[in-house]
Amino acid sequence: MPAPIAPLRISAYTVTSAAGPGKAALHAALRDGRSALSPNDFGPTPLATWIGRVAGVESTPLPAPLAAWECRNNRLAWLGLNGDAFIDAVHSARERHGAARVAVVLGTSTSSIGATEDAYRHLDDRGGFPAGNRNPRVHTPHSLADFVHAALDLEGPCVTVSTACSSSAKVFATAERMLRLGLVDAAVVGGVDTLCGSVLFGFNALQLVSPEPCRPFDADRSGISIGEAAGFALVERDDGAEAALRLIGYGESSDAHHMSTPHPEGLGAERALDDALARAGIDATAVDHINLHGTASAKNDEVEAALVARRFPASTHASSTKGITGHTLGAAGIVEAAASLLAIEHGIRPGTVNTRVLDAACGPQIRIDAVRAPVRVALSNSFGFGGSNCVLVFAGADADGQA
Amino acid sequence: MIRDAPEAAGIASAQGRAVNGPSPGGTFHVEGIAFWAPTLPGWAAARAAFRGDAEPLATPAKRPAPEILAPAERRRAPDTVALALEVAGAAVRESGLDAATLPSVFTSAHGDLAVNDYMCTTLASQPTLISPTKFHNSVHNAAAGYWTIATGCHAASTALTAFDASFGAGLLEAASQCLADATPVLLVAFDVEATGALASVTASAGMLACALVLAPRASERTVATFDWSLASGANRSPGLRSAAARSLGGNAMAGALPFLEAMALASDGGARAVDAPSAAAAAASISLPLTRSLAIVLAPRPSAHAAARAT
C-alpha cells in the first residue's frame, strides 16, 4: 500500500461542458438534474445518437497571438480557460512562484485529431495537407498542453497525459509527484477533448454508442453518449491554512485484461480504489459521495456497480453525471473532478440523470435522485481503454480524513 | 548547473508525507536498458555504434516480433506496439525485476502514425467502416495497454507525449515516480515513421525505441547512475557525438539519443578500458529540453565497475 500523501490545495478550478460555460452551469445541471445531451448534429454524416456538445466553439476563434494553434480542441480549451477567472488565478500563481515553477499537466484522448480528420477530407492535389491546416504542432497529441502552456505564458514542465478516458484524472497524480518533490510550486492540471469523427465512429464500431440519451446503471441502458468538455484546476502544496478544497488521495492501476473491455471482477478498478484510500489515509466508510465512471455501457456499469456494492456502506451516495454531460472521454476525469468539488462546495449529492430503473447489480449506494447533504469526502472514478484506471479523492475543509 | 542531490533526499521523501520546500531532483540507477532501430536492432549493437566501435547494419532488420506477445498478436500488432514491447521486455529481463509489479511510463511524440493515417483516411471516405480493433489501437496508451495485458501487470501505467520533448518528459515522469514512491519504474520511448498524408506535416523517419528500468537504489545490476535536476534557461538539444546516433536523427524520438550516447559511455560492458576522450564525455552532464526554457539535467556518476577496475 502506498504511504499517505500531504493534501494538495485546489486553488482554483473551472469546467465548460454541454451544460454550459463555467462552474455555475454544471452546478445548476447537477442541482436540477438536467441533461444537456442533444441529438447528434456533428460532422458531415452524423450518426443517429446523442451528444454533449458545447455551444459557441465554432464562433469563438483563438485570439490572434495564439492563432497558430487554431483547431476545435484548442478553441474549446480557450473557452474553458476563460471560465471562472481561471487565467487570473494562474497569473497570480505565476507571480508568486515564477513562471518556471508552474507546470502544465493536461489529459486528452484525441487532442486535435479533429483538425487532422479535416485535413484528410481536404487534401491538396499532391495528397498533402491543405494550406492553412499544416501546423505540425496542431497535428499531434501534445497540441493541447503545448497550446495551454503558451496561452498561459508559463515556463515550467509541460506534458500531455493520454491514457484514453483516465487521462485527465491521472494528471493530478503526476502533478502531486512534481509538487511533493519540489520540482514545481503549482501545476495547471485538467484536460480537453472535443467531438470528432474518430470517437463517434470508433465507439460506434465497437457497438458502444446509444441511439438515445445515455442512461447510466439503468437496467435497460443501451450504451454511451459522447460529449466534449474542457476543465482545469490549479493545484499547489497545502500551506497549512485549511484550504477549502483539497486533493487528498489518488490511485492508478492497470486491468491487464483487454484493450476495450473492463476486467470482469473490476480487479484494476479495486486496486486503484485501494491505493487512493491508502494515500488519503481513510477507509471506505469516510466516503460520502462517489462520482462513478458510469458510462452506461453494459459492461462498465455492471463491473463498477458490483465494486461499489461490495466496498462501500449504504450511506455512501454514488451516481454518474454522464447523463448530464455525456462521456467526455479524455476530459471525463477533470469534468467529474469538478463535479465532485461542486458537490463538496455546495453540499449536493448529484443524481443519475436519464436513468429510470436501476440495474439489479446496483447496491443501495447508487442513486437516481440528487439530495442536499454535506459532502466532506468525494471520490471520482475514471477508467479507460487499455485497462487504465484512476481514482481521485477530494475533501472539503472540515473533512477529518487526514486526522 | 547541477546541485548535489544526495540519495538521502529520495529515501526521506519515499518514507513519508510530503517533502516540504524545494528539492532539486534526485538520483536514479539504471538496472536495465534496451534499444531497437532497424539498423541497430538491440542495445549491444547500438552501444558499440554509439561508442564508435561498430557500424550500423547495412541491411535494416525487419520489425521486431516481441516474444511476450502471442504469435498471432506478434503479426497483427501495430508497429508501435511491437517496438515498445520488444524493448520493454528486453530491459525488464536485464533488470531481473518482475514485469507484473513494475509501474511503467510510455512516451511517444505521435503514437502510431500508421493507425492514425488509417483512421483519418477511412473517416474521410467510409466512416461507418472503421475497424473496431484499429480504433482501440489508436489510443495513445495502446502500447501500455498491450504491455500490461501481456505481463499481467496491475501496477500504474501511463502514456505521455510532449512533442519533440517527449523523451525528456517521459524520463522526468519515470524519475519522479522512482524518487517519490521509492520504486523501480519502467520507461519506454518510441516513435515510428510518418505515413500517408500525415507525412506532409509530421516529421518522423524510421523506427526508434528504447527502454530503461530506473531504480531508486543501486544494486549489483546497476549499469549506470545519474543525478538529475531541472534547470531553467534557453536550451536546445545537445549535439550527438556518433555518426550512428546522427543517422537516426530524423525519428521523432531522436531526443533520446543524447541520453543513449551517454548511457553507451557510462555503462561499462567490461569489454575494454574506455579511452580518455570517452571518459571525459562519460563524465559530462547532459541537458534534455522539456520546454523552450527548461531542461532536465543528468549528471552521470562514475561507474562502480570502472572505478573498481581502476584501483
- pLDDT tens digits for B65-85? 999 998 888 889 999 999 999
B73, B65, B67, B64: which is closest to B92 by C-alpha?
B67
The arithmetic mean of pLDDT across residues A67-79, rounded, is: 98
| Helix residue spans in A328-384 (DSSP H) | 332-346
Question: Regarding beta strands A8-16 and A229-237, do their DSSP bridges make them parallel or antiparallel, or are they unpaired?
Answer: antiparallel
Q: Look up residue B9 and give its DSSP letter.
A: H
Instruction: Return the residue of B nearest to A102 by Cα.
Output: B294
pLDDT at residue B266, rounded to an integer: 82
Longest dimension (CA), chain B: 69
Q: What is the pTM of this model?
A: 0.95
User: Rounded CA gap, B26 and B172, in Å?
Assistant: 11
Question: Which CATH architecture fits B7-17+27-268+275-310?
Answer: 3-Layer(aba) Sandwich (3.40)
User: Rounded CA gap, A57 and A351, in Å?
Assistant: 28
pLDDT at residue A399, rounded to an integer: 58
The arithmetic mean of pLDDT across residues A359-384, rounded, is: 98
Is residue A256 within 8 A of residue B148, CB to CB? The reply is: yes
CB contact under 8 A, B197 and A201: no
Q: What is the mean pLDDT of chain A?
A: 96
Is A327 catalytic? The answer is yes
Q: What are the boundaries of each domain within chain B?
A: 7-17+27-268+275-310
Q: Which residues of chain B have pLDDT under 70?
A: 1-24, 234-236, 267-280, 303-311
Is residue B214 within 8 A of residue B134, CB to CB? The reply is: no
A113, A117, A152, A181: best mutation site toward chain B, by most B Cβ within 10 Å? Answer: A181
User: Rounded CA gap, B112 and B196, in Å?
Assistant: 12
pLDDT at residue A291, rounded to an integer: 98
At A397, is the pLDDT very low, low, confident or very high (cuts 50, 70, 90)? Answer: confident
pLDDT at residue B276, rounded to an integer: 61
E strands present in A66-135: 102-107
Q: Check whether A379 has a pLDDT greater than 60.
A: yes
Judging contacts by C-beta atoms under 8 Å, the chain A residues touching residue B157 are: 163, 252, 254, 386, 388
User: Rounded CA gap, A194 and B151, in Å?
Assistant: 33
pLDDT at residue A239, rounded to an integer: 77
Q: Look up residue B154 and give its DSSP letter.
A: -
User: Rounded CA gap, B14 and B19, in Å?
Assistant: 9
Domain A8-396 sits in CATH at 3.40.47.10
* ipTM of this complex: 0.97
In three-state secondary structure terms, A124 is coil
The arithmetic mean of pLDDT across residues A388-399, rounded, is: 91
| Residue pLDDT, tens place only, A258-279 | 999 999 999 999 999 999 999 9
C-alpha pair distances (Å), A314 with each of A289, A308, A367: 11, 10, 11
Give φ, ψ of A214 to 5 degrees: -60, 145
Residue with cell 461507418: B128
Element at B269 (helix H, strand E) = none
pLDDT at residue B278, rounded to an integer: 66
Instruction: Give the nearest partner residue to B23 out of A4, A113, A182, using CB atoms.
Output: A182
In this structure, chain A runs to a length of 403
Is residue B292 within 8 A of residue B304, CB to CB? The reply is: no
The arithmetic mean of pLDDT across residues A107-129, rounded, is: 97
Question: Regarding beta strands B185-191 and B104-107, do their DSSP bridges make them parallel or antiparallel, or are they unpaired?
Answer: parallel
pLDDT at residue A31, rounded to an integer: 97
Instruction: Return the residue of A nearest to B21 by Cα.
Output: A182
In three-state secondary structure terms, B164 is helix
pLDDT at residue B268, rounded to an integer: 59
Q: Which residues pair with B160 in a beta bridge?
A: A161, B107
- Residue B130 grid cell: 472503421
Specify the amino acid at residue A146.
D
The arithmetic mean of pLDDT across residues A1-28, rounded, is: 97
| Residue pLDDT, tens place only, A308-317 | 999 999 999 9
pLDDT at residue B18, rounded to an integer: 36
Is A390 catalytic? The answer is no
pLDDT at residue A139, rounded to an integer: 97
pLDDT at residue A103, rounded to an integer: 98
CB contact under 8 A, B232 and A161: no
Asked if the C-beta of A168 comes within 8 angstroms of chain B's C-beta atoms, the answer is no
